[in-house]
Every structure is written in structure tokens, then in C-alpha cells.
Amino acid sequence: MSSTVLQLDRISKTFQLGGGRELTAVDRVSFEVEENAICVLLGPSGCGKSTVLRMIAGLETPTGGEITLGRHPVTGPGRDRGMVFQAYTSFDWLTVRRNVEFGMKINGVPAGERRERAEHFIRLVGLSKFLDAYPSQLSGGMRQRVAIARTLANGPELLLMDEPFGALDAETRWQMQELMADVAEQAKTGMVIVTHDIEEAIFLADKIVFLSAHPGRVKEEIVPAFKAGGRIRPKEELVQTPGYAELERKIMRLMREEGQHE
Amino acid sequence: MRPSHARKSRFLEVRRSIPRRQAILSAIGIWIVFFGIWLIATEGGWVNELLVPSPLKVFQTTWNLFVDRGFIGDIGISVGRVVIAFAMAAALSVPLGVMMGSFPAIEAIFAPFVSAWRYLPAPSFIPILLMWFGTGEAPKLALLFLGVVFFLITLVMDHTKNVRMELIETALTLGANRSVTVMHVILPAVLPDIVTAMRQMLAVTWTYLVIAEIVASTTGIGAMMMRARRFLKTDEILSGIIVIGALGLLFDLLFKAAHRWLFPYLKESRG
Ligand SMILES: Nc1ncnc2c1ncn2[C@@H]1O[C@H](COP(=O)(O)OP(=O)(O)OP(=O)(O)O)[C@@H](O)[C@H]1O
Ligand SMILES: [Mg+2]
């Protein structure tokens, strides 16, 4: 039995622009994320995906509706919701190891356990050789993996990622997708991932929430039923599974419809 | 047509870095030209020897000042004033600037005050400082302090505001509270820029030092130069100028070295 970790109940966000003008970026968005499940947010540019994610993280306050994590309403940022940003966020003054230990350190995890967990997650993202390197010595993709390891090592209940693999090369991107699938299955971590990549969305998602633009609303919730609740690996097999091509076409059609409104 | 890789190198290349050897030779060359012209002008009798002594005489005088006249004592006093006043200014500016750059509520309180003071030239306070503090060290230190503190606060604040929001938000989503965010993310992120700002403002402190010592002091490099003026000793005045320049350069190099030593991770940056 899977239970709900995150619930969005008619969330809205209206930004106050200068000169008394307003912009409703997100309009009464509702969806749920189950334990161990990956929820992918898809939609045209500017439809409010990042805003939704930031509200879940507590970095932005909704102007309407309620977000509940477990049994508690979200009122601000906290370690129970880890976030990986699209821009690089490595702490340049700390080595890879210390970057990954940062969250655990400020939360009072004892040194021994900290070290062990950090090494485990650094190995998981394939950076064991760079434990004591500084971020400035790493490539962009490697820095992003440091950020992912740092977030995972902190043990969040929910992992939020805003186009985390956008800047990675195809090979690394593919590895990271596999990694996220592993993490979702092993750890009891729910995930909300924003992406533009349809293949990535179908591979990772237990549920795809498709948003329409201006204002951002849930246009459709898609459960890739052909995956039968699991993840089909390797990816080349996924794309040949009956049902994949159909779903891909459907999402492309949704994208095109929304794009034309602009 | 010759193949493009055979393109001959030219002296002037737009934004193309030059070899280290060429850089050093260029730097030495310009100084040789400068002293050469100075030497020719004085030896050739083109200028009044009394107003412009020859560079050889100036170096000789500098030597004598150090060896026979205890010039090192004056230098010690001047350096002490700069270091003490600058340390006081930094001790106030760095915490205040970081707080102002981190918390808009604190910026709203101090920014209007600080920017108003920034537009008041510090030397305009000399008469009142002399009346308040008399003729001891206090008015000199106060002038140096006033001369740099408001600029330093503003620089530190601006650099702090430039710390990327994503870094702060990352800390918050990892569970950092306000003090952890400021002390363990914002401060280390901005520290290299703070040290650079301090390096720039230290040069300004030297400017105010000379003003303070020329106007109201009997000790220090500036006072020595004013004494020399009374006895028409242009060589001693020029010695003072050279020593101040050399000290400024030395402090700049010290700060640069400290920057490299404190922030080794910056050096390794790719690109
Ligand atoms: N702080 C803000 N102030 C004002 N308007 C904002 C702010 N943040 C976002 N918006 C607006 O809200 C809308 C949604 O933005 P958001 O960044 O959430 O879109 P997105 O779906 O993530 O787009 P993309 O796919 O391009 O990243 C946009 O029209 C944007 O201009
Ligand atoms: Mg976005």
C-alpha cells in the first residue's frame, strides 16, 4: 500500500508586478505524490512549473490553497524537502566531501555517520575519485551530481528537482535518470521533477502532471499505465514497449496545442 | 596564399595574452625610460637642481635617511596608523556590510545613513577632529577611519548582495536557519570579494594618512616631508614619496598573497 506524502490542494500564485498589475502564474493546481513515486511536471515554458516546485519547497508562498507534507502544512523551507536547482549550487569553498556533508553537519549528524553517508552518496553519483576536489576543478555535469548527492545524503522525504539534467551531456543524463529511478525504488523518497524532455518524463514518471499556460492549470494527469507500476529498463526496451509511442505522441500533441496559445 | 597557421605574430594583438617574459621586460622598460628622462633632465641641467634633484641624489638621500636619521621610526609610526585605523574600519564594516547585504531590514536602517556620509569628504572633518581630540594619535586615526569606513561598508554590502540566491535557497532547503545561512553560506561565499575590497580601500587609507600627517602631525612620513619643505630639501620630499609608493605596493602584494593563501580553491578554477 502506498500512501500520500505530498498533497497540493488548489494552489494558486499571483505575483504583484509593478504599477498595480498582477500576474496569475499558477491557478488552483491540485495533485498528489505517493511515497516512493516520481511525479513529473511537464508543460510549455512559462506555465508555472518552477513556481509550483518553489512553493512545495517553501521558497515561495502560495496566494491560495494549501500544501500538505505528511500531515503538516508547508509553511517554509525545511530539510524534509530537498531541492536541486538547474543552476549550479555547489559551495565553491568546500571540497566535494564537505559539500555533501553540509546538510548533515548543520542538522547535527555525528561525524562518523556523516562521513559514511557522504561517501556512499558520492559513490552513487560516480564521483569517488573526486572526494577531496574543489567544485571549480569539476565539469558542470559533475557539479550537478555533487548537488544531487548533497541533497540525497540529507535524507529528505521529498526530492524536488527543477530541470536538474538540462545541462548534462546525453550519456551522463542517462546515468542520472537510472540513478533517480534506483533512488526512488530503494529509499522511501517521493520526487517531483520538472523536465522538458518527454522521454525522460515517460521513463521516470509514475505520474505526469501536465500544466497549461497563462494561467498555469493542471491540464491533464497522465499515468503511464503501460509501465504497469514499474520502471522498464533499459531505456531502449522502454521505447519499444507497446504503449510508449502512443503516450509520446499524446504528450507531443498536448505540447503543440499549448504552444499555439502563445 | 600561405596557410593560416603560419600567420606571423605581431606586437599588437587584440586581447591576446603575452608571454610572461615580455610582461616583465615591458614593466621594467617603462621605469627605465622614466628614470632615464629624469636623469638626463637633471644631469643635462635642463631643470633647476634645487626643485628637481637627480634620481641618484634622491636614492642617496633615501639611504641616508634610513641609516643615519632614523627614518624607519617615522615609517613605523605611519604604518602603525594605517594598520590600526584600517583594522578598526574593517572590524565595523565587514559585519555591518554582511548584515546589510543579507537582511533588507538592516539595509533599510543603515543604508540611507551610510550613503549620506559617503558624500562628505573626510578631510572636511579635520578642523573639528583636531578640536575634539587634540593633537595626539586620535584625530589622525579618526580621519583615516572616517575616510574609508563608509566606502568599505558599501562595498561589502554590495558584494554580499551579489551572492547568488540559489546558494542561499539551497542552504534553506537543506535545513539551514538564518544564522547558519549567513555564517556558513553567505559569508564564505562573499569573503574573497571582501578581501579584494579591503585591498582596494587600503590604498585609499594611505591617501588619508598623508593628508593627516601633512596637516596635523610632527611624526610619520608626511610630517618628515613637510619638515623637509621648510629646509628646501626636495630630495627628502621625493624620498618620502618613493617610500610611500613602495609601502603601498608592498601592502598590495601582501593582500594579493593573502588572497591566494586564504582561497586556494579559486586558483584552480577552470576558465
Ligand atoms: N518572482 C516573480 N515575479 C513575477 N513573475 C514571476 C516570478 N516568478 C515567475 N514569474 C512568472 O510566472 C510565470 C511562470 O514562471 P515559471 O518560472 O514558474 O515557469 P516555468 O514553467 O518554470 O517556465 P520554464 O519552463 O521556462 O522554466 C511566468 O510568466 C513568469 O514570468
Ligand atoms: Mg522553470
> CA–CA separation, B228 vs B240, rounded Å?
10
Whether residue A225 contacts residue A16, with contact meaning beta carbons closer than 8 Å, is answered with no
Q: Are residues A184 and A224 both part of a single domain?
A: yes
Tell me the per-residue pLDDT of B167-218, one tens digit each, with 9 for 90 and over.
Answer: 999 999 999 999 999 999 999 999 999 999 999 999 999 999 999 998 888 8
Give CA–CA dist B197/B94, Å, rounded. Answer: 10
Domains along the sequence of chain B with CATH: 74-265 (1.10.3720.10)
A66 domain-assigned: yes
Spatial CB neighbours of A168, under 8 Å, sequence gap ≥ 6: A140, A141, A144, A176
Q: Are residues A239 and A181 both part of a single domain?
A: yes
- A246 and A179: one domain? yes
Same domain, A183 and A247: yes
CB A34 within 8 A of CB A19: no
Instruction: Quick: pLDDT tens for A242-254.
Output: 778 888 888 888 8
| Shared domain check, A169 and A72 | yes
Is B271's pLDDT higher than 50?
Answer: no
In angstroms, the separation between the Cα of residue B64 and the nearest Cα of chain A is: 48
Domain region containing A64: 4-80+163-260
A220 belongs to a structural domain: yes
The pLDDT, as a whole number, for residue B134 is 85
Separation between Cα atoms, residue A172 and residue A152, nearest integer Å: 18
Could you tell me whether strands A38-42 and A64-69 are parallel, antiparallel, or unpaired per DSSP bridges? unpaired
Residues A132 and A173 in one domain: no
Ligand 2 center to A64 CA (angstroms): 20
| Of the partner residues A78, A106, A136, the one whose CB lies closest to the CB of residue B269 | A136
For residues B32 and B199, what is the distance between their CA atoms, to the nearest angstrom?
Answer: 28
List all residues 6 or more positions away from A17 whose beta carbon is below 8 Å from its beta carbon.
A23
pTM: 0.87
Residue A9 lies in a domain: yes
Residue A62 and residue A178 share a domain = yes
B74-117: per-residue pLDDT in tens? Answer: 999 999 999 999 999 999 999 999 999 999 999 999 999 999 99
pLDDT digits (tens, 9 = 90+) for B23-61: 999 999 999 999 999 999 999 888 888 889 999 999 999
Q: What percent of chain A has pLDDT over 70?
A: 97
Find the residue in B nearest to A134 (Cα).
B265
Quote the minimal CA–CA distance from A254 to chain B in Å: 31
Claim to verify: residue A226 and residue A183 sit in the same structural domain: yes
Q: A106: which chain B residues are within 8 Å (Cβ-Cβ)? A: 174-176, 180, 184
* Residue A24 belongs to some domain of the structure: yes
Residues 6+ apart with CB under 8 A from A98: A91
> Is B178 in the A-facing interface, judged by CB distances under 8 Å?
no
Nearest CA to ligand 1 atom 5: A15
Contact call for A106 and B266, based on CB within 8 A: no
8 Å CB contact of A93 and B164: no
Judging contacts by C-beta atoms under 8 Å, the chain A residues touching residue B188 are 91, 93
Domain assignment present for A104: yes
Among A137, A155, A173, the domain-final residue is A155
Q: Is the same domain home to A33 and A113?
A: no
**ipTM metric:** 0.90
Q: Which of B170, B189, B266 is closest, CB to CB, to A85? A: B170
Domain identity same for A167 and A252: yes
**Are residue A143 and residue A244 in the same domain, yes or no?**
no
Find the CATH number of the domain harbouring A73. 3.40.50.300
Q: What digits encode the pLDDT tens for the residues A20-53? A: 898 999 999 999 998 888 999 998 888 899 999 9
Q: Of A155, A176, A201, which residue constitutes the final position of a domain?
A: A155
Give the E-state strand segments of A132-189 in sequence order.
158-162
Task: Identify whether A85 is part of a domain.
Answer: no
Q: Which residues of A touch B170 (CB under 8 A)?
A: 83, 85, 89, 147
What's the pLDDT at B270? 43
Longest dimension (CA), chain A: 55
A121 and A199 inside one domain: no
Number of structural domains in chain A = 2
Contact B140, B213 (CB under 8 A): yes
Higher-confidence residue: A224 or B73?
B73
